[in-house]
Amino acid sequence: MDDSYSGPATVLLASDVEIPVTARLRIDRSGNLPGWHGSLSSDHDLYPLFEASGGRLQLPDGKVGDILPSRMDGADTTRMSIKGSGAPPF
């Protein structure tokens, strides 16, 4: 398993909305429970992910991970920090 991923991905929301993104993800092994987090950027509005309080992130190889929005980048709704839940998809 790699400790990081940077590249294309798709945000999948329960409302059948799909948002193409560029993901920068990494595994954090600094605590007792390893986790993963990163950032998303897109040419599309990412606020629907924030409103939905989470979704799934699918990588080009079909692997999927659950994500939670952690922070929007100010008024720019095309950038967002995320936290992963469960096993990372990379």
Q: Which domain holds residue 17?
A: 4-85
Q: What is the pLDDT along the chain (90 residues), one digit of tens a residue?
A: 679 999 999 999 998 999 999 999 999 887 766 789 999 999 999 999 989 989 999 999 999 999 999 988 778 899 999 999 998 999
Say if residues 11 and 39 touch (Cβ distance below 8 Å): no
- Considering the domain boundaries, does residue 32 fall inside one? yes
pLDDT of residue 39: 97
CATH of the domain at 20: 2.40.10
- Considering the domain boundaries, does residue 8 fall inside one? yes
The helix (H) or strand (E) run that includes residue 70 is strand 64-73
The total of structural domains in the chain comes to 1
The predicted model scores a pTM of 0.90
pLDDT of residue 27: 94
Say if residues 90 and 4 touch (Cβ distance below 8 Å): yes
pLDDT of residue 1: 61
- Alpha helices, H only, the chain: 47-52
pLDDT of residue 67: 96
- Considering the domain boundaries, does residue 90 fall inside one? no
Torsion of CA 3, 6, 7, 13, to 10 degrees: 70
